[in-house]
Structure 1
Amino acid sequence: MKIKINKKNRSGIQEYSQYRKICPQTEPVYLEILRSMDGEKRLKTAFKLYEIALNLSRQNVLEQNPNITEKELKKILFKRFGYGPRRSTNKSPG
């Protein structure tokens, strides 16, 4: 699922339309929490959320494919998290 960026506010935090669709009351609270954090704390939180998402995805794949090899599991997770060939060709200039 792709997330559209609505705008970037003064604090540099991007607001996503996805939150408004799911629960309109959640987005302002979530954004206020992010804005109250310094950059280091936001980055640590992002890494923790990534780890949670990775572990949940791993569990889901293993439940659906109990006999999958570690190599196949990594391949599926790699694709799920958007690290396929398309992404690797979007190299920055320089």
Structure 2
Amino acid sequence: MEKILKSYQVCQAAIKEEDFAKAVSEMAILDKTLREFFSTNSETISKEQFNSLQEIHQFLEAQTIALQQVKSEVEQELNAFSKGKQMKKAYNQV
């Protein structure tokens, strides 16, 4: 459980600092750690651990949605930039 909480805190800090590459990497580590935890401790979770895991779940769900929105916005900006470059190139050829 300590590894899970540590990974969760690192992930939170990375998102707060807008270090999205680190956040995504830490989310993958957190996912792996959670899977390992549940494969060995699924029947021995205390109420406190359950509440911590519920908080982590809600955080990850919200951050996944937020990261998907950022990804979509970046893709739109890149597409607009690419189209702008194509238009400039076509204009310069005239």
What band does the TM-score fall into relative to the shorter chain?
0.3 to 0.5
> More relative contact order in 1 or in 2 (CA 8 Å, sep 6+)?
2
From the CA coordinates, give the structure whose radius of gyration is larger. Answer: 2
Q: Which has the higher strand share?
A: 1
Normalised to the residue count of structure 1, the TM-score between the two structures is 0.34
Normalised to the residue count of structure 2, the TM-score between the two structures is 0.34
